Amino acid sequence: MTKDKIVLPGEQVSTSEELGPGEGTFEEDGIIKASRFGKYQVDQKNRTATVKPLTSVPVELKKGDIVLAHVGMVRSNMIIADVIHVIGQKRAISGDTNGTLRVSEISQGYVKDPATEFAPGDIIRAKVTQVKPSIQLHTKDRDLGSIKSLCSKCRHTLQKKGNILECENCNNKEKRKAAQDYGTFDPNKL
Ligand SMILES: [Zn+2]
């Protein structure tokens, strides 16, 4: 991987044979992965992989922003997702980033259980419908939803095959409310 590449949380940046896990990264089964959205850099002195936040003046979230969010918890009536990036802004986000996606805001159609649409670790593209007192999101449009999901069994990135996501490593099939451009999103072309 080249230096200064922008990476998504959960994305592989190196291996533990090459580098140790440094700031903004963690190790999982010998793979060094990004724990946050940011720039991948190698700390040559300490031989560690690091992911630094995008620098410059932080941006405040606004209603109507299209954002990337990292799904944390999936509850019976909502999803909790950390807003990691505002599309079109090469900046870190200031203040609260803890977003809520209610079950009624996931899809145009009726959704009974959020767990059928998203899973922890998903990177989703969502629209901000409210900022205060809490960040509210929706993913109803075709270009909104998951842009990158990991296999719940083996953690490999799932590939879109028609309306289903498939793991090429273990053949596991999973359902998501996927964005129409699922799998083609490149954070370096923001
Ligand atoms: Zn798998």
Residue-wise pLDDT tens digits, 58-76? 788 999 999 999 999 999 9
Distance 34 CA to ligand 1 centre (A): 19
Distance 148 CA to ligand 1 centre (A): 14
Distance 122 CA to ligand 1 centre (A): 14
Peptide bond connecting 133 to the previous residue in cis, omega within 30 degrees of 0: yes
Distance 119 CA to ligand 1 centre (A): 14
DSSP secondary structure letter of residue 58: -
Whole-angstrom Cα distance, residue 131 to residue 77?
20
Distance 170 CA to ligand 1 centre (A): 4
Residue 44 has pLDDT above 50, yes or no: yes
Distance 44 CA to ligand 1 centre (A): 33
Distance 137 CA to ligand 1 centre (A): 28
Distance 168 CA to ligand 1 centre (A): 7
- Percent of the chain residues past pLDDT 90, beyond the cut: 77
Distance 159 CA to ligand 1 centre (A): 10
Distance 129 CA to ligand 1 centre (A): 34
pLDDT at site 1: 46
Q: What is the pLDDT of residues 105-158, one digit of tens each?
A: 999 999 999 999 999 999 999 999 999 999 999 999 999 999 999 999 998 999
Report angle CA 181, 143, 147 to the nearest 5 degrees.
50
Q: What is the mean pLDDT of the chain?
A: 92
83: which strand partners?
Answer: 69
- For residue 1, count other CB atoms closer than 10 A to its CB: 13
pLDDT at site 4: 74
Q: What is the band of 190 on the pLDDT scale with cuts at 50, 70, 90?
A: low
